[in-house]
Structure 1
């Protein structure tokens, strides 16, 4: 086997691998641009005013997994806003600053209706009248 021929083949394979790597980088860059464009189009800016009721995302609850455990705590009242997207919340006299990414609006009715519960006995042999 000719060594110069083997050297040329290995150089061609290296060049081919380099082209594949560059194509992968280009494909990744295009995908990231499209994803960012889609995300920016569907992004909703949250705006809170002083006096709004909000819920706070508690990220520390992720350590204790539970399907039915809510990760939102509150409601809290917005007491101060800043131009940089952080808000001061008031919780029974305690005030603390929070980023707007951890907040969502709290919507509630002032009056909560009564819930009626009707127990059914599946083992009742008598048919209903």
Structure 2
């Protein structure tokens, strides 16, 4: 340890530790850190560059996996839907109350209605009346 400290120009003074059970642990950690640290800044920069790009690839893979999972879940849900999804004026529909998803009552329905479709807009929105 003394040779390594002299090699880096560090002066070391011996001091008594407050907790005697920790003697030896600090020196072991310091020698381990000195062995694992990369002091060549150019190679350390290249290593860090590769680590950052690996992390970005993992994030991109996670986003792609999440997107594919959502697509498959949507396809499964849409496959199980029965009936006509196109509304016409005069149809009776039920309105879904999404605010009750957080704290629904035990026997409370999430659907209100029936309502009558008053107008269907070309971009998919509908206007309903009570």
TM-score by length of 2: 0.51
Partner of 1:85: 124
Give the gaps of 5 or more residues in structure 2: 9-37
Q: Distance in 2 between matches of 1:62 and 1:40?
A: 19
Which residue does the alignment assign to 1:117?
Answer: none
Question: Structure 1: which 5+ residue stretches go unaligned?
Answer: 92-129
- The aligned counterpart of 2:54 is 20
**1:48-106 alpha-carbon deviations (Å, 9 max, x no partner):** 11121110012343465323211111001112111111112121xxxxxxxxxxxxxxx
Find the partner of 2:88 among 31, 36, 49.
49
Match of 1:38 among 72, 76, 89: 72
Cα RMSD (Å): 3.1
TM-score (norm 1): 0.51
1:73 paired with 2:77, answer no
Higher normalized helix content (fraction of residues): 2
Bigger fraction of residues in strand: 1
Q: Secondary structure at the match of 1:51?
A: coil
Seen in structure 2, the aligned counterparts of structure 1 residues 72 and 29 have a Cα distance that, compared at 3 Å, is: same
- Cα distance in 1, alignment partners of residues 75 and 68 from structure 2: 11
Structure with the greater alpha carbon radius of gyration: 2
